[in-house]
Amino acid sequence: MSFEKLLVIGVIAAFLIGPTRLPAYAAKLGQFVRSLRRLADDVQQQVREEVGDSVDLDWRRYDPRQYDPRRIIREALLAEPGPEPASRSLERSAPDAP
């Protein structure tokens, strides 16, 4: 989310919640974000303990925002055709049933 969107959400929240209850809700939100961050760190640590340090996970590789359907289609269309799968070659060579 961009800063402008967060600012708009904050202004709307200030109007809906009111200035008297806003600090309490902001503190609860801060606690929630800290607990989520702690949970993510714990999960990463547990994965490293179970898998080992030899495997370095690049979490950015799994970011869904990096997948551009136009780029994927363009690469698929420009790729050299590979060998035909064995199942297709068998389908073509099998005689038709009467």
Query: Rounded to two decimals, what is the model's pTM?
Result: 0.45
Cα 89 to Cα 83, 85, 86, 97: the distances in Å are 10, 7, 5, 17
Longest CA pairwise span in the chain (Å):
82
CA gap 91, 41 in Å, rounded:
51
Q: Which amino acid is at 14?
A: A
Chain mean position to CA 19:
35
Using CA atoms, how far apart are residues 4 and 11, in angstroms rounded to an integer?
Answer: 11
Over the stretch 24-77, which tens digit does the pLDDT of each residue have?
Answer: 988 998 999 999 999 999 998 888 888 776 666 677 777 777 788 888 888 888
